[in-house]
Amino acid sequence: MLLRLVASVLLGTACLTVSAHDHDHSQQNGEAKAFDIQQAWSRAMPPSAPTGAVYFVLKNPENEADRLIGVRTERAEKAELHTHIHEGEIMRMQQVEAVEVPASGQVEFKPGGHHVMLFKLSEPLAAGDHFPLTLIFEKAGEVTVDVSVQEQAPQQHGDSHMHH
Ligand SMILES: [Cu+2]
């Protein structure tokens, strides 16, 4: 079961990489375009939980790779970029310094993969809440998104990988 999850996460990444290159946005102007951050959500947690996780989809409109190098939010004392790595059949979380977003590509932050980890929450993450999260990119600078706290992952268009 665990192996199946790992396999589907890897496949998911491969699919995204391929589909990102299907679109040919031949932009000629040199103006900076805003980073597109979609479906920012955080899983609702019991009031006793000291930590939380935030997920989203990063879409890079530029013909140049960028890197997400930091995060911060008023909702938590500390926010870190995390990913999951597998050691044999075990998956565990690890902090990463940066996450590369390919030129005209996208990176999905989702359960079992990349996520933003929140430590020392100022308030519990209750379903229906919203809070701002600022993402810091090496080239694009800072982008603040509204995170929606919900019980379930948002429905993703065309996502056929279901996890239980
Ligand atoms: Cu984590």
pLDDT at 15: 39
- pLDDT tens for residues 29-65? 445 567 899 999 999 999 999 999 999 999 999 999 9
Rounded Cα gap, residues 157 and 141, in angstroms? 28
CB-CB neighbours of 105 under 10 Å: 19
How much distance in Å is there from the Cα of 78 to the middle of ligand 1?
A: 12
Structure tokens at 64: 């140049």
Give the list of residues 6+ apart from residue 149 with CB closer than 8 angstroms, or none.
41, 42, 43, 44, 125, 126, 127, 128, 129, 130, 131
pLDDT band at 78 (very low <50, low <70, confident <90, very high): very high
* pTM, 2 dp: 0.75
How much distance in Å is there from the Cα of 21 to the middle of ligand 1?
A: 29
How much distance in Å is there from the Cα of 114 to the middle of ligand 1?
A: 8
